[in-house]
Amino acid sequence: MIASLRGRLISKKPERLIIDVHGVGYSVHVPLTLLSNLPDERTEIFLYIHTHVREDTLQLFGFQAEDEKKIFTTLIGISGIGPRTALNLLSTIPPDQFYSAINSEDVDVLCKVPGLGKKTAHRLILELKEKLPSFTEKKNTVYDDTLSALVNLGYKKNIAQDALEKAYASSGAGETADIESLLREALKYLTKDK
């Protein structure tokens, strides 16, 4: 089973790339959002891969982040959700908004996905609520740890909180936010005010 690919980007077309790995060209289906983040052709790239095998076909699906791959594999594990629908979902809704929609049971956000109706959206929420990690819990842990680091550096708690909120907003920090990047971003705001 192929879990990742590192190679030269030979061709990029909507929803499909060709990646040359030591002379072998792999056709990889990707979310539309990935295309805008890709470098020029003939440049080396790395993707996390899900190998999807059925009786009559073998397909590769590629993602920039492990969280996207986790969402994809969880979605296709749900009855009635195939790879195409899962890819449409990742093309339409960023992972942090997806986690948020599941946690807040926001059917309207999920219904923005082409081919996903209210009935399926309700079923997704019901089935995924327990399977996916809570974005809110993850954000709170990272937020609390970063706030603690700022306070330990000598900043007053209320000033540190304000800078941290700005850091979250400006960096687009989603589920991939880590303490180091948030701390760096918050310190920019704190030093700018001096």
CATH number at residue 169: 1.10.8
Question: First-to-last CA distance in the chain?
Answer: 54
Per-residue buried b or exposed e for 36-71, using 16+ beta carbons within 10 Å of the residue's own CB: eeeeeeeeebebbbbebeeeeeeebbbbbeebbbbb
Instruction: Give yes or no: residues 100 and 51 share one domain.
Output: no
CATH of the domain at 13: 2.40.50.140
Examine the domain organization and report whether 71 and 44 are in the same domain: no
91: domain CATH number is 1.10.150.20
Dihedral angle of Cα 172, 176, 179, 180, to the nearest 10 degrees? -80
For the stretch 59-106, pLDDT in tens is: 999 998 888 898 899 899 888 888 998 999 999 988 878 888 888 888
Q: What is the extent of the structural domain holding 94?
A: 67-128
Look up residue 134 and give its DSSP letter. P
Residues 86 and 120 in one domain: yes
Residue 81 and residue 118 in one domain: yes
Give CA–CA dist 146/148, Å, rounded.
5
3-state secondary structure of 13: strand
User: 3-state DSSP call for residue 62?
Assistant: strand
The amino acid sitting at 68 is E
Residues 73 and 56 in one domain: no
The answer on 119 and 73 residing in a single domain is yes
CA angle, 168 as apex, 177 and 155 as ends, to 5°? Answer: 105
Residues 123 and 71 in one domain: yes
The residue among 128, 148, 173 that closes a domain is 128
Residues 185 and 169 in one domain: yes
pLDDT level of residue 178 (50, 70, 90 thresholds): confident
pLDDT band at 136 (very low <50, low <70, confident <90, very high): very low
Query: Does the pLDDT of residue 20 top 80, yes or no?
Result: yes
Final residue before a domain boundary, out of 63, 90, 112: 63
Is the same domain home to 30 and 75? no
Domain boundary among 16, 33, 63: 63
Question: Looking at residue 10, what is its pLDDT?
Answer: 94
**Same domain, residue pair 72 and 124:** yes
Closest CA to 36 of 20, 15, 22: 15
* 38 has a pLDDT exceeding 80: yes
Q: Are residues 82 and 121 in the same domain?
A: yes
Q: Are residues 187 and 139 in the same domain?
A: yes
Scanning the chain, the segments in alpha helix (DSSP H) are 32-35, 66-76, 83-92, 95-103, 107-110, 118-128, 135-152, 157-171, 179-192
**Packing angle of the helix pair 95-103, 83-92 (nearest 10 deg):** 100
Angle, in degrees to the nearest 10, between helices 95-103 and 66-76: 50
Residue 8, SS3 per DSSP: strand
The whole-model pTM stands at: 0.65
Q: What count of other Cβ atoms lies within 10 Å of the Cβ of residue 140?
A: 11
Give me the number of domains the chain comprises.
Answer: 3
